[in-house]
A and B are shown apart, each in its own frame.
Chain A
Amino acid sequence: MAGVSNGHDGSSFKMPSIKFTKLFINGQFVHSISGKEFETIDPRTEEVITKVAEGAKEDIDVAVKAARVAFDYGPWPRMPGAERGRIMMKWAELIEQHVEEIAALDAINAGKLYHILKGGEIPGAARTIRYYAGAADKIHGEVLKAGREFHAYTLMEPIGVVGLIIPWNFPSIMFVGKVAPALAAGCTIVLKPAEQTPLSALFYAHLAKQAGIPDGVLNVVPGFGSTAGAAICSHMDIDKVSFTGSTEVGREVMRAAANSNLKPVSLELGGKSPLLVFDDADVDTAAQIALLGVIFNKGEICVAGSRVFVQEGIYDEFEKKLVEKAKAWVVGDPFDPKVQQGPQVNKKQFEKILSYIEHGKREGATLLTGGKRIGNKGYYIEPTIFSNVKEDMQVVQDEIFGPVMVLKKFKTIEEAITSANNTKYGLASGIVTKNLDIANTVSRSIRAGIVWINCYFAFGDDIPYGGYKMSGFGRDFGLEALHKYLQVKSVVTPIYNSPWL
């Protein structure tokens, strides 16, 4: 493992002071009602970065009230979409002006690579906001064929107050991926960021206010799932919940929605996504795609290609190249621009991943490379690859959410498809082949929300993604996401003597 360097060694970056640690409700930063705070940790050092106000049920109540008033009486849903778009454009500009500061927040809070945040994720957040800003004045209903002498049309109305609960693995992208379409639609928002990564969300809220988003439209309440999150899901005055996180918690979210006001829910949950590599593939390219597919963002990505199936003709060569590449992978301080992988987000995740690795060994899988922590400070884990796995093994079935790949050989397309679909999840998938028929057949056969052919993680603002099966339902990104935050109202009235029907 080259270039292991944890701690602050690689960092010449001047750490920003943490400006926002309170709840953002109705346009103000406020203490939690209980006065409680929780510690947010730097995963590189396991040290406390700062204390953050801990929102609980009573804070959610205040936030929902603010969002309710902003929706029921405020200017946001009442202004033209073009005007909402202009304000959002301004917000995107402000984010671009603060890229480095926000990137540093996500890096210290989530252990993510600073240079990727600065060059990719944070500018990407601005781009996503611009995408939905441009969509705000393009929300079209339809005029319908009523079948009789009626004039009928649909109004696409903002759904109301939306509760958004986002995870810690992509604090910025998940934030804008939910907030931007909801704002474009004219909704007001109560958002709970993950307790691990509350800092960038509060910064975004501050910039939103500067951009002119009216008070009460965007409320950010840091806190824990079992308290603040649960309060959102079971709130009687929230009209919609969109959640990204684990499948287990997704179930709780949906149950709480069902038990309260039957609010519609969209869930973007776990995955155990397959990558299928066929004999005709360029082996080097395929190995590169496979490694990145599981190791990007330390494997803390719901769409990770964590099950890799390789056709027998190239299997041996592929395995060899893959292991070489994994060994050359640089793990270390995320502020070091040479580093390709930072620490896992926290102790709990770190220990969970290591226990899965141990379990894989006990189950009889072959550990090709990795398998251990790196150093003795911080949550760094070696890129880890198992081969000779059986499909019922836990390391093959469960979402590990770390840099752990399982590798398996297959003979025929049919076998590959069966294996790929042999999972409770259905979030993403990848195919590496040059053959058009294989690409098309497999694309239609895999039961997953996105198929990447000869690429992986090719996300885009206009490209919706979300899950089949227990990976959830509903889509984030694209115009599909906008529709999550809209109600459809049909309006019907009789007409007389119409020259056409």
Chain B
Amino acid sequence: MAFSLRISRLISRSFSSTSLLSRGGSGYLGSGHCKYSTAAATEEEPIKPSVQVEHTQLLIDGKFVDAASGKTFPTLDPRTGEVIANVAEGKSEDVDRAVAAARKAFDHGPWPKMTAYERQRILLRIADLVEKHNDEIAALETWDNGKPYEQSSKIEIPMLVRLIRYYAGWADKIHGLTVPADGPYHVQTLHEPIGVAGQIIPWNFPLLMFGWKVGPALACGNTIVIKTAEQTPLSALYVAQLFHEAGLPPGVLNVVSGFGPTAGAALASHMEVDKLAFTGSTDTGKVVLELAAKSNLKPVTLELGGKSPFIVCEDADVDQAVELAHFALFFNQGQCCCAGSRTFVHESVYDEFVEKAKARALKRVVGDPFKGGIEQGPQIDSEQFEKILRYIRSGVENGATLETGGDRLGNKGFYIQPTVFSNVKDGMPIAKEEIFGPVQTILKFKDLGEVVQRANNSRYGLAAGIFTQNIDTANSLTRALRVGTVWTNCFDTFDAAIPFGGYKMSGQGREKGEYSLKNYLQVKAVVTSLKNPAWL
């Protein structure tokens, strides 16, 4: 109990507004840490992670194997751009092997045939084992991704454990219905596992995305081929090995590292894959959906991009609003699909808000993510790094006011200064497109009707934040915003039970919670004619 209390406290410290705010934003500033403007943190030698890279091969049918081609690709340390390890590069042929293993495990293996209680027990053992290796896994995650180690070790890996336990508890509670009929029929629905699930996950939360995908799929009795992001292949291989140690039968979970156009496309267009779940960019999501349509019409779940509004109403306590808006955007180096990347502020508090948002960004502690007290590490890779800097330049060119930041930090690795723009207009690219970096754009609004209209004027619809104490304002905005999640006076609250997903071009389907089970179940209606039924 002590342990789980500790975790929940830590999560609430970073994820809930109140405890963040009570620290006035300075809680992370320990002595010896440098603010981004000095850049000193990035000029020191990078801290050596306390973990070895043990697994770099593909995990197929319970065994680590080389790619059929023998090829490998380097995975890089975002702090330096240097190679951490060379990883087997899965391609179409490897995906075929993995799907064959998953197919066999589904069609003939014990996994879907064992009792739900046994599946639950294995998932619980997996959770225990992941929990036991929390720190090594977190180190691997931070090394490969660049996110603060404290975030990996105290929030994300415990959240993965929590998620696995949550879905373990679902395994023996998957209910079909008995259904009323218009005549003498007995009708019931069987909720059957859908089969072989293909899953493609991104690099921004490598293991959380892994958990969101495999947790419900396994609880329902499916088998899986998962392709990790080429930027972050390491942690999933480590964790998948633990899944097998805990008793997951071979072939149930296959992990293929590789690139989208080769391995990802092979999975999306595979004729023997019964279901596809993808998290990534909207552009790639379109391709995935098209490949599914062109091949075997497999159902697809998509969790794509966003440009989520964070709306600060006129009654807001500005200090608290600034802190939460800052967290909503800058968390995870701004690399969140649901980042509150359009900060709409009511005109009555706008000036004060901008000034304080700038001050908060200036205080943000950027540096080596393995260092204690660090709030922001490097961006994931040079491509993202360059893209973000391009957007910053476009913001300046389009006449937005650069309040702070705007450049890289140091001269090694992919660090970017926390950046704040004010006077942003709706039509500017920085207000319309997903930047996926530490760039806050602040927009001014006058009344609720206007902000609803502007907030919804986006091709995206993933999430929104509302900051108000007024119940009518909160309720009106909640219903009017066309987004999959509304956070009121909080942001990025990602409990296992809360469904997540997008409206519009932010995707389709929902992950987490009971809703995610639907992604991995077929519904079979069973209708039997009745003779002399006592009632209908």
Spell out A's residues near B (CB within 8 Å). Answer: 80, 82-83, 85-87, 89-90, 127, 130-131, 133-138, 140, 151, 212, 436-437, 440-441, 444-445, 461-462, 479, 493-500
Decide if the interface of chain B is mainly helix, strand, loop or mixed.
Answer: helix
Determine the chain B residues whose CB is within 8 A of the CB of A83 once the complex forms. 1, 4-5, 8
Determine the chain A residues whose CB is within 8 A of the CB of B171 once the complex forms. 134
Binds A, one of B46-54, B316-324, B473-481: B473-481
Binds A, one of B161-169, B291-299, B343-351, B370-378: B161-169
The residue among B528, B532, B533 with the most chain A CB atoms within 10 A of its own CB is B532
In the assembled complex, the Cα of A497 lies from the Cα of B165 at a distance in Å of 41
Q: Quick check: A441 and B533 within 8 Å, CB to CB?
A: yes
Given A80-B8, A440-B531, also A138-B169 (CB < 8 A): yes
* B449 to A: closest C-beta gap in Å: 8
Determine the chain A residues whose CB is within 8 A of the CB of B449 once the complex forms. 497
Q: Quick check: B530 and A134 within 8 Å, CB to CB?
A: no
* A149 to B: closest C-beta gap in Å: 10
Given A493-B471, A493-B475, also A86-B1 (CB < 8 A): yes
* A173 to B: closest C-beta gap in Å: 16
Q: Quick check: B531 and A441 within 8 Å, CB to CB?
A: yes
Q: Quick check: A82 and B166 within 8 Å, CB to CB?
A: yes
Q: Quick check: A500 and B479 within 8 Å, CB to CB?
A: yes
Determine the chain B residues whose CB is within 8 A of the CB of A495 once the complex forms. 472, 475-476, 479
* A262 to B: closest C-beta gap in Å: 31
Q: Quick check: B173 and A462 within 8 Å, CB to CB?
A: yes
Within 8 A of A (CB), among B442-499: 449, 471-472, 475-476, 479-480, 496-497
In the assembled complex, the Cα of A82 lies from the Cα of B3 at a distance in Å of 13
Q: Which of A85, A86, A134, A437 contacts B173 (CB 8 A)?
A: A134
State whether the Cβ of B117 lies closer than 8 Å to any Cβ in chain A: yes
Q: A497: nearest residue on chain B (CB-CB)?
A: B476
Q: Quick check: B8 and A496 within 8 Å, CB to CB?
A: no
- What 3 A-B pairs have minimum CB-CB distances, sorted nearest first? A134-B169, A445-B534, A212-B1
Determine the chain A residues whose CB is within 8 A of the CB of B426 once the complex forms. none
Q: A214: nearest residue on chain B (CB-CB)?
A: B1
Q: Quick check: A440 and B530 within 8 Å, CB to CB?
A: yes
Within 8 A of A (CB), among B485-536: 496-497, 514, 528, 530-535
* A495 to B: closest C-beta gap in Å: 5
* A221 to B: closest C-beta gap in Å: 25
Determine the chain B residues whose CB is within 8 A of the CB of A80 once the complex forms. 8
Q: Which of B168, B479, B535 contacts A134 (CB 8 A)?
A: B168
Determine the chain A residues whose CB is within 8 A of the CB of B532 once the complex forms. 441
Within 8 A of A (CB), among B318-341: none
Given A127-B117, A130-B120, A138-B169, also A440-B480 (CB < 8 A): no
Q: Quick check: A444 and B480 within 8 Å, CB to CB?
A: no
Known contacts A80-B8, A441-B533, then 10 further A-B pairs from the complex at CB < 8 Å, ordered by chain A residue: A86-B4, A133-B169, A138-B497, A140-B514, A441-B534, A462-B173, A496-B476, A497-B449, A498-B475, A498-B479
In the assembled complex, the Cα of A396 lies from the Cα of B97 at a distance in Å of 64
Q: Quick check: A135 and B475 within 8 Å, CB to CB?
A: no
Q: Quick check: A444 and B533 within 8 Å, CB to CB?
A: yes
Determine the chain A residues whose CB is within 8 A of the CB of B472 once the complex forms. 494-496
State whether the Cβ of B172 lies closer than 8 Å to any Cβ in chain A: yes
22 A–B contacts from the bound complex (CB under 8 Å):
A83-B4, A85-B165, A130-B117, A131-B117, A131-B172, A134-B168, A135-B169, A135-B173, A137-B497, A138-B169, A138-B170, A138-B497, A437-B530, A437-B531, A440-B528, A440-B533, A444-B530, A445-B534, A462-B172, A494-B472, A496-B476, A498-B479
Within 8 A of A (CB), among B128-146: none
Determine the chain B residues whose CB is within 8 A of the CB of A462 once the complex forms. 172-173, 175
Given A82-B162, A212-B1, also A444-B476 (CB < 8 A): no
Determine the chain B residues whose CB is within 8 A of the CB of A444 once the complex forms. 186, 530, 533-535
Determine the chain A residues whose CB is within 8 A of the CB of B170 once the complex forms. 134, 138
* A355 to B: closest C-beta gap in Å: 37
Q: Quick check: B476 and A441 within 8 Å, CB to CB?
A: no
* A129 to B: closest C-beta gap in Å: 12
Determine the chain A residues whose CB is within 8 A of the CB of B8 once the complex forms. 80, 83
Q: Quick check: A82 and B173 within 8 Å, CB to CB?
A: no
